[in-house]
């Protein structure tokens, strides 16, 4: 039974990843950033005295900022783990040998993606004790934390899929990495810019694009990871967005649909293009 | 075992393979000879299911490389001309990974790996990191990797390239061993004489076309029917040369003065040669040795490809 689900690429990738110093230094960097942020936040709110009040609202604020920070870190690290998935095999001249084995393209792509996602999940879990400091001061529910973690996972898989896709269709890792970071800038930054732009147009009373503008504003917000995290941490943010855009559908639903589509699209392209020189993709 | 039918591969206006046809029986060791860019690696890549042909097809044990690539991959072990290894993976882990990639169970892999390492003389390197092995060892490891699923056909693209003489001899011994195991082996090499020794059949490819195919002897016979004869004299080089120039069957006379040798091309039969020798003895020419220059595969290749260029 175990043999059936055994993915050699996944196991090999994990082995190689955990033998590399880069992985440990990456993990250390990630935890150090969170530590510095939490320590800094606590010191600033207590006026560098180590004493004083720390209200639940302040704790919530720390939670919200920490959530956005963690998302930014995950978005920053994911391309470096996935954008070399296939292109590095090509650069090391190991891909041709791998492609002559009986593993299917799907198996290879999924193995590559899962190994990167597994490492990112480890990162998130390693950061969990630090993240859980918010529970000490109240103001945050465990269900909120779980939903945020599930959306982290969805985002990681989606960005990972984008990275694997670019890694498959481009010959060089550096090009794949730049393309993946470009996609992240689009999803995290440009969508936010477009959101504010469409909202501004809407508020200026541009009736010609009246209803469509509000849908557009909702669309840009619904594919922005930052916007999702804000609506997940604070329901008032969700209400405000619904008011601005006129769309009642919670952002997390459209985010789930949009990112699931991104995953399916990117993985399909990657699987189809892995054996690009062969007409049949088996 | 291998049937190549009208295989053509074009890259834009460049034709890498031009209607290649080839049929090989099971257990045959086939040497593919050709200059760089002649189409050897393209043919091997198509057989290894890495490349689709523009037209034509290739069947391995009746399975089409285009329609049933997964079935073909079970039948072949492929060793490319250039390949890399994974850093930070040990020799046994390397083989274990590829074994799993061919769907071989964990228990079976445990038994197989020491056997394969023994076959390629790498038993003592089992727990070493792959990237620390020498090039010759990496080549042997790659061969072991290609054998892990016990394929019927081995496709070896330049397996001896970049190896020092000792590593080359070791590789040749392993291939001989594999031949005795009944594997059908396709091998390309720049070291042509080595191929001649090992191969049952040779194919010469030039500009994507198979210009000669057969056993080594028959290919050598395709050489324009001329022999190169070398005679050694004790003296009178000019007299001997003048004597040879009179014979209409002789051409391309070269006098090597410092070695007191004369080499020439001879178009006559063996009986004509006997007559020539008799005539020389009767003419009191100081000839003390006569030998036919052996033509190795490299000469065959040069002659055949030169002929193809002139066409």
Q: For the segment B162-190, what is each residue's pLDDT rounded down to a tens digit?
A: 777 777 787 778 888 888 888 899 988 76
User: Does pTM surpass 0.90?
Assistant: no
**Within a domain: A100:** yes
| Residue A159 confidence (pLDDT) | 93
B90 has a pLDDT exceeding 60: yes
* Closest residue in B to A91 (Cα–Cα): B84
Task: Provide CB contacts within 8 A for B237, sequence distance 6+.
Answer: B255, B257, B260, B262
User: Which residue spans of chain B are classified as CATH 3.40.50.300?
Assistant: 2-215
Residues of B in contact with A8 (CB under 8 A): 97-98, 100-101
Highest mean pLDDT among A82-91, B164-173, B192-201: A82-91
Q: CA of B159, closest CA in chain A: separation in Å?
A: 14
Q: Which of A61-70, A239-248, A269-278 has the lowest mean pLDDT?
A: A239-248
Structural domains counted in chain A: 1
Taking residues A107-135, report their average pLDDT. Answer: 88
Whether the predicted pLDDT of A282 surpasses 60 = no
Which residues on chain B are in Cβ contact (under 8 Å) with A273?
none
Q: Which residues of B fall within a CB distance of 8 Å from A277? A: 45, 50-52
Determine what percent of chain B is predicted with pLDDT higher than 70. Answer: 89
The pLDDT, as a whole number, for residue A127 is 87
Domain range enclosing A128: 2-274
Band of the pLDDT at B298, cuts 50, 70, 90?
A: low
CA distance A97 to B21: 26
In a domain, A218, yes or no: yes
**Is the Cβ of B129 closer than 8 Å to some Cβ of chain A?**
no
Cβ–Cβ below 8 Å for A93 and B49:
no
- A281–chain B Cβ distance below 8 A for any pair: no
**pLDDT score, position A209:** 44
Query: Does any domain span residue A263?
Result: yes
Whether residues B69 and A278 touch (CB distance < 8 A) is answered with yes
Which of A19, A92, A98, A101 to mutate to test binding with chain B, by most B CBs within 10 Å of its CB?
A: A101
Average pLDDT over residues A47-53: 68
A108, closest residue in chain B (CA to CA):
B101
Task: A276-281: list long-range contacts, CB under 8 Å, 24+ apart.
Answer: A277/B45, A277/B50, A277/B51, A277/B52, A278/B49, A278/B50, A278/B51, A278/B52, A278/B69, A279/B52, A279/B66, A280/B52, A280/B66, A280/B67, A280/B69, A281/A105
Q: B227-294 — its CATH code?
A: 3.30.70.100
Contact B50 A277 (CB under 8 A): yes
Cα dist. B231→A129, A256, B255, B281, B295 in Å?
91, 88, 10, 13, 16
Nearest CA in chain B to A281: B69
- Answer yes or no: is A24 within a domain: yes
Higher-scoring residue by pLDDT: B36, A123? A123
- B253-296 pLDDT tens trace: 888 888 888 988 888 888 888 888 888 888 888 888 888 876 66
**Do the domain assignments include residue A192?**
yes
Count Cβ atoms within 10 A of the Cβ of residue B258 and give its class: 0-12 exposed, 13-18 middle, 19 or more buried: exposed
pLDDT of residue B7: 87
Rounded to the nearest angstrom, the minimum Cα separation between B290 and chain A is 52
Write out the residue limits of the CATH 3.30.70.100 domain(s) in chain B: 227-294
CB within 8 Å: A97 and B52: no
Q: Which CATH architecture has domain B2-215?
A: 3-Layer(aba) Sandwich (3.40)
**Residue A57 within any structural domain of the chain:** yes
Partner-chain contact B73 A102, CB within 8 Å: yes
B49 near A CB under 8 A: yes
Kindly state whether B215 is in contact with chain A, defined as any CB-CB distance less than 8 angstroms.
no
Tell me the average pLDDT across A174-185: 93
Q: What percent of chain A has pLDDT over 70?
A: 90
A124–chain B Cβ distance below 8 A for any pair: no
Kindly state whether residue A188 falls inside one of the protein's structural domains. yes
Q: Respond yes or no on whether ipTM tops 0.95.
A: no
Give residues with Cβ within 8 angstroms of A109, minimum separation 6.
A86, A164, A168, A267, A270, A271, A274
Judging contacts by C-beta atoms under 8 Å, the chain B residues touching residue A16 are: 86-89
């Amino acid at each position: 039974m175990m043999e059936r689900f055994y993915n050699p690429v996944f196991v090999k990738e994990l082995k190689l990843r955990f033998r590399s110093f880069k992985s440990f230094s990456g993990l250390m960097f990630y935890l150090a950033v969170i530590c510095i942020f939490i320590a800094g936040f606590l010191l600033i709110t207590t006026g560098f005295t180590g004493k004083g009040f720390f209200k639940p609202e302040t704790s919530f604020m720390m939670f919200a900022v920490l959530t956005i920070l963690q998302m930014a870190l995950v978005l920053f690290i994911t391309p470096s783990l996935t954008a070399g998935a296939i292109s590095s095999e090509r650069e090391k001249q190991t891909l041709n040998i791998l492609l002559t084995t009986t593993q299917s393209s799907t198996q290879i792509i999924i193995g590559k993606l899962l190994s990167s996602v597994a490492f990112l999940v480890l990162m998130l879990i390693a950061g969990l004790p630090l993240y859980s400091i918010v529970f000490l001061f109240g103001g945050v529910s465990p269900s909120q934390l779980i939903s945020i973690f599930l959306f982290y996972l969805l985002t990681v898989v989606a960005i990972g899929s984008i990275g694997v896709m670019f890694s498959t269709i481009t010959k060089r890792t550096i090009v794949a990495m730049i393309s993946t970071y470009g996609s992240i800038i689009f999803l995290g930054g440009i969508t936010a810019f477009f959101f504010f732009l469409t909202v501004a147009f809407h508020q200026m009373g541009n009736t010609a694009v009246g209803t469509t503008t509000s849908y557009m504003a909702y669309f840009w917000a619904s594919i922005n990871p930052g916007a999702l995290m804000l609506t997940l941490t604070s329901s008032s943010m969700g209400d405000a967005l619904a008011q601005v855009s006129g769309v009642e559908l919670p952002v997390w639903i459209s985010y789930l649909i949009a990112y699931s589509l991104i995953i399916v699209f990117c993985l399909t392209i990657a699987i189809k293009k892995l054996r690009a020189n062969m007409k049949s993709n088996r | 075992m291998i049937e190549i039918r009208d295989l053509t591969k074009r890259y834009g206006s460049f034709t890498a393979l031009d209607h290649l046809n080839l049929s090989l029986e099971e257990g045959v060791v086939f040497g593919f000879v050709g200059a760089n860019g002649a189409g050897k690696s393209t043919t091997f890549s198509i057989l290894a299911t890495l490349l689709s042909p523009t037209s034509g097809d290739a069947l391995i044990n009746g399975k089409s490389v285009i329609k049933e690539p997964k079935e073909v991959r079970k039948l072949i072990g492929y060793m490319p001309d250039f390949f890399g290894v994974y850093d930070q993976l040990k020799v046994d882990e390397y083989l274990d990974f590829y074994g799993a990639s061919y769907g071989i169970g964990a228990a079976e892999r445990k038994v197989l790996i020491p056997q394969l390492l023994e076959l390629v003389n790498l038993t003592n390197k089992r727990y070493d990191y792959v990237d620390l092995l020498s090039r010759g060892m990496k080549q042997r490891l790659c061969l072991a990797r290609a054998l892990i699923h016990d394929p019927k056909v081995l496709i070896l693209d330049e397996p001896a390239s970049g190896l020092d003489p000792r590593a080359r001899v070791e590789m040749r011994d392993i291939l001989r061993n594999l031949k005795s195991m009944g594997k059908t082996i396709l091998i390309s090499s720049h070291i042509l004489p080595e191929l001649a020794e090992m191969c049952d059949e040779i194919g010469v490819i030039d500009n994507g076309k198979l210009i000669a195919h057969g056993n080594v002897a028959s290919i050598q016979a395709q050489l324009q029917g001329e022999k190169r004869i070398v005679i050694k004299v004790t003296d009178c080089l000019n007299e001997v040369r003048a004597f040879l120039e009179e014979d209409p069957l002789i051409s391309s006379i070269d006098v090597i003065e410092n070695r007191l040798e004369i080499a020439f091309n001879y178009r006559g039969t063996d009986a004509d040669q006997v007559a020539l020798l008799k005539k020389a003895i009767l003419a009191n020419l100081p000839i003390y040795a006569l030998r036919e220059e052996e033509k190795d595969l490299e000469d065959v290749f040069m002659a055949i490809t030169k002929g193809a260029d002139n066409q």
